[in-house]
Amino acid sequence: MAGFPEGHDRLCAIEWLVQRLAVEHCLRTANPFAAAEKLKAAGDEYGMLIMTSAINTGIAEQGLTGVEISAAIATLVEHIPDDVREALGA
């Protein structure tokens, strides 16, 4: 029987918590939509920085890890603006 990798349950729980906290943070600002977009952009920018830095090492494993981290960050932040809209009923 194939299962999830070890620690997958913890990663899912952490992802859920981070997304919820991000939305709550945005809702506490004067402009929740702008805060959500800013948070998404910051995550995307940081992910690209990690990926570029890792690739620039010239070490294949580090480059691959950088790409994976960048993709994980992008996946984590991509839905924050929609989650904020949903929370506000917009």
Averaged pLDDT, 4-13: 83
CA gap 72, 82 in Å, rounded: 18
Amino acid (1-letter code) at residue 35: A
Averaged pLDDT, 37-43: 96
Q: What one-character DSSP code corresponds to residue 4?
A: P
pLDDT tens for residues 47-86? 999 999 999 998 999 999 999 999 999 999 999 999 999 9
CA gap 50, 71 in Å, rounded: 10
Residue reference for tokens 């996946």: 75
CA dihedral 79, 25, 30, 45 (to 10 degrees): -50
Question: Hey, where are the domains in the chain?
Answer: 14-88
